[in-house]
Structure 1
Amino acid sequence: MNLSDLTSVEISALDRETTVVVVPLASTEQHGPHLPIGTKSFLVESIAFAASARLRSEQVECLITPTVSFMPCQSSAGFTASFAMGARTYSDALYDIGSSFSRDGFKYLYFVNLSLSPDAIKAVSVAVEDLNTLRDFRAFDPLPLWNYSPNEALESYLRERNIDPASEIHADIKDTSAALHLDPELVRSELLPGLPACLINTSWEVLKGNFSFQEMGSKDGYLGSPSLADPELGRIYIAEAAFALAEAINYTLEGNELPELPLQIRMLLKMVDLDEM
């Protein structure tokens, strides 16, 4: 269900035990010369609605809110056309949004977050921690764990084409393929053949103290192989993310906690001060 399409009477009638709030989050951020700055919005919205369709057959309704854009994106520092709130401001805004749903009687809220930028992940994480102090209310951010975990369907597809999944980071083959799948007109396809692969070892770059794409060696705002994109990979990407979101919702509705992020990511997030971002 799309929150914006409903009346106040219809929202009041929703069963709070079987209706979960789903809040897509997205940066308004450069995605290289070939993708629009709203790319993450298009992706998270499609994932949210695909997960909702899957869950409806299991008697779980998703109330999908408008996307909360202008997510922190310090990873794109140095490039033009990245428009963002400060990390603390964004985190506080998410807390306020979640609190309003709690006051309206909703009990479960799920953010849909594809960002790999540490300031963004930390901002959402802090909001989730604060929301989980509210009485009879639970908030979750499931997709960062999916992003940082192996995915057999995606990895096998890429490795069959001699592409290292670890090198595909931003405005890459996955983002570009997903955009092609959703709407080919989103992609400046005429530019793709002229975009050389930008392949880096992100773990090594972070150890060197390089946290932005530009510091890591990106000249045009992307990290990966966008020229190799194809819509079938995009279909797989959206489907796998939607499946992961739906599974996380079912898992937590059963009273379970989500697993923690990998240790190296948790250590990195400890270095992030929201008030300095």
Structure 2
Amino acid sequence: MTLHRLPDLTWEDVSALDLARTVAILPVGATEAHGPHLPLDTDVTIAVAMAEAGGRRLSAHGLEPVLLDALPYTPAGFAATFPGTIDVSAGTLAALLTDIATSLRRAGIAALAVANAHFDPTHLEALHGAVDAINGSGDMRAVFPDVTRRPWGGRLTAEFRSGACHAGQYEGSIVLARSRERVREEIMRELRDNPVSLSSAIADGAQDFVAAGGARAYFGNPAGATAEEGRDTIEVLGGILAEAVLEAMAWENT
């Protein structure tokens, strides 16, 4: 089996899939400020990389992974004051996700997996709420491995685990691996390390990047980013997604 891309298929192609073993994979990210060196769609780039890597693994298990177009607009309040950031309401995200699931369910697709690379707390809350609602319907299984939670986050890099990882080494490495030409490398290599933990700042009540200590919309060590680390991280993310789907659907031994 192969990794299908929904926009490339016809409706008859979709109906011909083994729908009981089909997993629709939705990459979710934000369009928001990622320092002076990374593109606004950095989270989307990471989410697509995760979705593709996870889809390849699911295909190797004999499943029918179908990659949906990425969802690039979501709550992004922490970066809302930076030009270029698109910040939508939590309700908009939740409604869109549940509507997507309804369409997939109508087609007979068994599962929806969310490959997420955006960690704004409002965004995460909306995702969890929508996934719970989809699962509560009883007609489709929705899977969302939240890498900000155990056990998934512990598999990622030291910078990610530190919480100082917005547009730093972790994210910069993945974008270098995926589309190096879109990284402002000269700027990136000159940026100083910003070891402030964004997750800790959020827990302490910060409401935006500036208040959290990221006046240029980055946290971590951008200058340390490498494409090699990015490629390794993409494979870890793909493994997390595939494992979560297999566990949720009890497909490991079928």
TM-score, normalization by structure 2:
0.91
User: Structure 1 residue 239: deviation in Å?
Assistant: 0.8
Q: Which residue of 2 aligns with 1:6?
A: 9
User: Structure 1 residue 12: deviation in Å?
Assistant: 0.7
Q: What's the CA shift string for 1:230-257, capped at 9, x where partnerless?
A: 111111111110111111111111189x
2:127 is aligned with 1:131: no
User: Structure 1 residue 133: deviation in Å?
Assistant: 2.2
2:60 is aligned with 1:64: no
Pick aligned residue for 2:216 from 220, 230, 238:
220
Q: Which residue of 2 aligns with 1:149?
A: 153
Q: Specify the SS of the correspondent of 1:249.
A: helix
Pick aligned residue for 1:177 from 156, 173, 179:
173
Distance change >3 Å, CA 248–CA 177, structure 1 → 2: same
1: distance between equivalents of 2:17 and 2:232?
A: 32
2: distance between equivalents of 1:71 and 1:206?
A: 18
8 Å contact from structure 1 (residues 196, 227) kept in 2? yes
User: Structure 1 residue 222: deviation in Å?
Assistant: 0.5
- Which region of structure 1 is more displaced relative to structure 2, 36-45 or 194-203? 194-203
2:88 is aligned with 1:85: yes
Structure 2 unaligned segments of length 5 or more: list them: none
Describe how 1:1-277 pairs up with structure 2 within 5 A: 1-144=4-147, 145=149, 149-151=153-155, 154-155=157-158, 165-202=161-198, 204-254=200-250
What one-letter code is carried by the residue in structure 2 that aligns with 1:187? V
2: distance between equivalents of 1:57 and 1:148?
A: 21
Q: Specify the SS of the correspondent of 1:247.
A: helix
What one-letter code is carried by the residue in structure 1 that aligns with 2:193? A
- Which region of structure 1 is more displaced relative to structure 2, 11-20 or 130-139? 130-139
What one-letter code is carried by the residue in structure 2 that aligns with 1:170? H
User: Structure 1 residue 150: deviation in Å?
Assistant: 1.3
- Which region of structure 1 is more displaced relative to structure 2, 27-36 or 167-176? 167-176
What one-letter code is carried by the residue in structure 1 that aligns with 2:249? L
Q: What's the CA shift string for 1:189-220, capped at 9, x where partnerless?
A: 01023211111134542343113221111110
8 Å contact from structure 2 (residues 198, 219) kept in 1? no
8 Å contact from structure 1 (residues 36, 187) kept in 2? yes
User: Structure 1 residue 84: deviation in Å?
Assistant: 2.5
What one-letter code is carried by the residue in structure 2 that aligns with 1:74? G
User: Structure 1 residue 164: deviation in Å?
Assistant: 8.2
User: Structure 1 residue 70: deviation in Å?
Assistant: 0.7
**Corresponding pairs, count:** 248
> Alignment RMSD, CA only?
2.0
2: distance between equivalents of 1:136 and 1:142?
A: 20
User: Structure 1 residue 4: deviation in Å?
Assistant: 0.4
1: distance between equivalents of 2:11 and 2:62?
A: 22
1: distance between equivalents of 2:154 and 2:240?
A: 12
Distance change >3 Å, CA 85–CA 207, structure 1 → 2: closer
Structure 1 unaligned segments of length 5 or more: list them: 156-162, 257-277
8 Å contact from structure 2 (residues 141, 249) kept in 1? no
TM-score, normalization by structure 1:
0.84
8 Å contact from structure 1 (residues 213, 221) kept in 2? yes
What one-letter code is carried by the residue in structure 2 that aligns with 1:44? A
